Structure 1
Amino acid sequence: MVDVFDEVEEQLRSERYQSLAMKSLPWLGALAAVAVIGVGGYWGWTSYQTDQANKASESYQTALETAQKQGPDKAFGQFKAVADGGANGYKALALLQMGDIRLDQNKTQEAVGYFDAAAKASPSPVLGDLARLKSAFALMDTASYKDIESRLTPLAGEKSPYRVYAREAMAFAKLQAGDVAGAR
């Protein structure tokens, strides 16, 4: 008689497990589908980003080669194309090149605009600080001391890789403003 009760109890337990499995199976399937879609989406996104960076790299390299072979003026449009559609790192590099070209053409305000845009677009603080430093250097002859100081003060901090250049430029700006004692 005990065997009959055990058998019935085992059958009831089996039915409960089957019922639980049938209720949870759709949820487990959905969870697996979400995981597969998530992994596929991540892989697709990283692949897309890599492809975009590779295209920007090739375009930037072509612009550099054009600048070297035909002159910077001929490469300006190519750098602009990289800046308009490139990944942020290459966008910042292209904007820096564009600023340098305009600076060589004595178009200081336009160059400063490109340097400032490069600082904003840069994904790297070091590259952004370089753009800010170039911007301050470009304005050295035309801007007021206060403007130069406001641009260079963040770069003169102890942890800044450009602190020596920033401090030197601030001293030079003080000399230009007539503050010889402050420049020392």
Structure 2
Amino acid sequence: MVDVFEQVEEELRSDRYKRLARTWLPVVGGILLVALIAALAWWGYQSWETSRADKGSIAYERGLESLQSNNPVGADAAFTQAAKEGNGAYKALALMQRAGIALDANRVPEAIAFLDDAAKANRDPLIADAAAVKAAWLAMDTASLEDIQARLEPLTGDKRPFRDFAKEALAMAMAQHGKAAEAKDMLTVLKSGLDTPQIISQRSELLIAAIDSGSAANLKAITDQMARAPIAPQAPPAAPAAAPARP
């Protein structure tokens, strides 16, 4: 009799396992399949990104070599290829180089467009914000104060790497549009800021003196000079290129 009960219990247990298997094996199999697809997709994406970075690096280096050889036409062609074939970082850096070439040829609107595209091409603020600040300087003589504020104010947050450069440019835009008192207030804060880069502290002091003396009535020469000056980063840029971007 005991053997009969044990046999019945074993059959019931076997049926229960079969039902569990029929219920859960498709679910487990589906999860494993999704995980496999995700892993393969990630591997494929990483391989694609690596390939794009390699292509961008080769074209970008060729562009730098052309610049060093005083061949802006060849450099622009190489940077165009780097922007087209490279990953986000190389695309941004190549567009910044193209902006520098356009600026050297006095094609300012074209340079601004390249910098705007560079700021959108990469999420790294060390690259994107540098391009955005540079574009604002170039646009300062032709754009409205509202446009310049829209460009610069998002870059002035505490965690933005070029916040002090953006604040300096914003103060200059205010001074240029007749808001000397507001500009002086911003420059005073920058001049005395403990974390303000020394170069900006020095420039702020000179600009405050210019505003006080009334010699800042015509700021076009100053803004032109700043638009063509390189931006010194507040932190080492994490750019993948062997040399920093020109603008």
Q: 1:23 maps to what in 2?
A: 22
Alpha-carbon displacement from aligned partner over 1:56-80 (angstroms, at most 9, x marks no partner): 2222222222222343332101111
Q: Would the alpha carbon gap of residues 171 and 91 (structure 1) be closer, same or farther in structure 2, given more than 3 Å must change?
A: same
How many residues were matched structurally? 183
Residue 88 of structure 1: aligned partner: 88
Matched, 1:101 2:101: yes
Give the equivalent residue in structure 2 for 1:127.
127
Cα distance in 1, alignment partners of residues 151 and 103 from structure 2: 18
Matches of residues 35-114 of structure 1 in structure 2 within 5 Å?
A: 35-114=35-114
**Equivalents in 2 of 1:144, 1:29: separation in Å?**
60
Q: Post-superposition shift, 1:123?
A: 1.8
Runs of 4+ in 1 over 6 A off after TM superposition: none
From the superposition, tell whether residues 32 and 170 of structure 1 become closer, same or farther in structure 2 (CA, over 3 Å): closer
- TM-superposed CA distance for 1:24, in Å, is 5.5
Pairwise mapping of residues 131-170 of structure 1 onto structure 2 (< 5 A)?
131-170=131-170
Structure 1 residue 172 and structure 2 residue 176: aligned? no
Tell me the distance in 2 between the aligned counterparts of 1:183 and 1:32. Answer: 61
Measured in 2, the distance between the counterparts of 1:3 and 1:147 equals: 89
**Which residue in the other structure is 1:9 paired with?**
8
Check conservation: 1:103, 1:138, Cα contact below 8 A: no
Q: Is the 8 A contact 2:55 2:82 kept in 1?
A: no
Q: Distance in 1 between matches of 2:108 and 2:67?
A: 20
Q: TM-score, normalised by structure 2?
A: 0.63
Does 2:88 align with 1:116? no
Indicate the structure (1 or 2) with the bigger Cα radius of gyration: 1
User: How far apart are residue 118 of structure 1 and its match?
Assistant: 1.0
CA RMSD of aligned residues (A): 2.7
Q: Distance in 2 between matches of 1:118 and 1:21?
A: 56
Give the letter aligned to residue 153 of structure 1. E
Distance 1:68 1:21 in 2: 71
Find the residue that maps to 1:161 and give its secondary structure: coil
Residues 142 and 51 of structure 1: CA distance in aligned 2, closer, same or farther (over 3 Å): same
Distance 1:22 1:149, change over 3 A: closer
Alpha-carbon displacement from aligned partner over 1:157-183 (angstroms, at most 9, x marks no partner): 333322222222233333333443333
Which protein, 1 or 2, shows the higher relative CO under an 8 Å CA cutoff with sep ≥ 6? 2
Unaligned residue ranges in structure 2 (runs of 5+): 185-247
Report the TM-score, using the length of structure 1 for normalisation: 0.81
The structure whose residues are more often helix, as a share, is 1
Distance 2:140 2:134 in 1: 10
Seq. identity, %: 40
Q: Which amino acid aligns with 1:166?
A: A
Deviation at 1:149, TM superposition (A): 3.1
